[in-house]
Amino acid sequence: MSSNTPNLGLLKKDPMVDGNETFNIETMLNENWDKVDEAVGNIKVPDASLTEKGIVQLSSATNGTRENVAATEKAVKAAYDEALAGKQYTDQRVNGINKAHVGLGNVENYGIASQAEAEAGTVENKYMTPMRTAQAIARRAIGQRSATIVIAASNATETSKKGADYVCTGVNDEDVINDAMYYGLPVGGGEVVLTEGAFVVGSRSIAIPSNTTFRGAGFGTIIKLRDNASNNVTLLTNEDTSSGNGGDITVCDLVLEGNTANNPTRGAGGLSFSNGEHFIIQRVLIRNMKHEILRVSDSRYNLILGNIIRNNSASSSNSVDLSSTGFSTVSNNIVADNGTTGVYGGNHLNITDNIFIGAYDAVDLRSTGTRVAGNLIFSSLRNGISIDSAASYNTVQNNTVRFSAQNGIRIHYQAQGNFVTNNDLYNSGSTAFFDQGTGTIITAGNRT
């Protein structure tokens, strides 16, 4: 049985059914070929473009601009080779550029000056940044500044701030104060006046230069360690600690606050001066320290007068540490409730008219030639006055000692020639006067 193809309708015969029919050239060949020819003649393939598919011409040109031809492999390689050659040429030219090519033939290849070099102004082979220029100008202006500078706390009154040369922020105030002293004071020193308010120390000491008076407005001026400090900090030090060169510093009329309650892991030291002469600490309240409280070491000709040192917890330190210090006076101070030795060490000292309460040893003499007189000593955890085995030829007289845990006065073995007389040691320890030294002079005696 015959049938037709689905697309062109060409006639087809079934060999099983139509096998005996006579072959008809017209219907089986001619008409079918006509239909194929007509269908092929109607096929139209457009030229290709950027928006339609179609017939496209190949091209090996590498400098054309047409958009209706396709590049051959030869054209792509030629373009790549040209681009690579151009890059190599450019690289050679860039690598060969020097300062003369860009108009810098007369400019030297110098580094940047350090702050010290900028301030000295003596080198000729360094460049200056804006910051270094400002530092140099500031240093040059020192000679034109007043010998007195005023620094205001962040919480000072507006009147105090308006009258100040510098105003702190309440964060790392040591930076402002140190910079003020460095740039604001003449080289020969001067006076720093702190207003009322709190000056908060963050991570480093306030380092006072030599020949400087550093004073507050009384106990309304507080220098304190910040809350939760990341490291231990001594609040005040002297800037120049090279042997024998630092000194002539007065600190007075302020509070040094260790802020122990808000520093569970770290803590503050109060004041530590060393290697100098003529240190004066006067009318300073030092409290809540965890480390050195008041230390003046390797120095001489100092005055520690009228200070209050109390409620410190620096068990490994001394309230007033005068290690290797001589020819100095400690007088009219109140040293209370620290649990440490009151005055320690030194030689040729004048320790007079102080009040000691709750010290370990109120006075611990370690050398020679010291006078301890007129002091009131109460409730020492060990001895009121201890004269060490190396301490000889000292004078201890007219002191009142009460309620010591062990001895009112104890003189250790090998201590020689100490003059101990007219002390009131009533009700002062299991043995009020315990003398193991040699050649002790008592004369009129002591009340025990």
Q: Which of 183, 179, 176, 239 is nearest to 202 (CA)?
A: 176
Measure the CA–CA gap between 77 and 441, rounded to whole angstroms.
114
Question: Is the predicted pLDDT of residue 265 greater than 60, yes or no?
Answer: yes
Tell me which of 9 and 195 has the higher pLDDT: 195
Strands (E), 311-422: 320-321, 326-331, 334-336, 343-344, 347-352, 355-357, 361-365, 371-373, 376-378, 383-387, 395-397, 400-402, 407-411, 419-421
Cβ burial, residue 207 (10 Å; 0-12/13-18/19+): middle
Query: Residue 145 has what pLDDT?
Result: 57
Query: Residue 104 has what pLDDT?
Result: 59
Query: Residue 15 has what pLDDT?
Result: 77
- Give the CA angle between residues 303, 277, 420 to the nearest 5°: 50
| Helix residue spans in 104-164 (DSSP H) | 115-120, 130-140, 158-162
Q: Which of 127-136, 230-239, 299-308, 385-394 has the lowest mean pLDDT?
A: 127-136
Query: Residue 96 has what pLDDT?
Result: 65
Query: Residue 107 has what pLDDT?
Result: 64
DSSP H or E segment with residue 257: strand 246-257
Question: Is the predicted pLDDT of residue 109 greater than 90, yes or no?
Answer: no
Measure the CA–CA gap between 160 and 194, rounded to whole angstroms.
10
Q: Which of 176, 172, 169, 222 is nearest to 195 (CA)?
A: 222
Find the mean pLDDT for residues 225-235: 95
Residue 205 burial (CB count, 10 A)? 19
Tokens encoding 166: 């510098």
Question: Is the predicted pLDDT of residue 283 greater than 70, yes or no?
Answer: yes
Find the mean pLDDT for residues 77-99: 73
Q: Which of 12-16, 181-185, 258-262, 436-440 has the lowest mean pLDDT?
A: 12-16
Query: Residue 139 has what pLDDT?
Result: 65
Find the mean pLDDT for residues 137-160: 81
Question: Is the predicted pLDDT of residue 217 greater than 80, yes or no?
Answer: yes
CB 364 within 8 Å of CB 388: yes
Question: What whole-number percentage of the chain has pLDDT above 70?
Answer: 93
pLDDT in tens, 196-216: 999 999 999 999 999 999 999
pTM of the model: 0.70
Query: Residue 102 has what pLDDT?
Result: 58
Confidence of residue 269 (pLDDT cuts 50, 70, 90): very high
Query: Residue 306 has what pLDDT?
Result: 98
pLDDT in tens, 389-415: 999 999 999 999 999 999 999 999 999
Find the mean pLDDT for residues 145-173: 94
Q: Of how many residues is the chain composed?
A: 448
Query: Residue 100 has what pLDDT?
Result: 62
Domains of the chain plus CATH, in order, are: 3-41 (no CATH), 116-145 (no CATH), 151-435 (2.160.20.10)
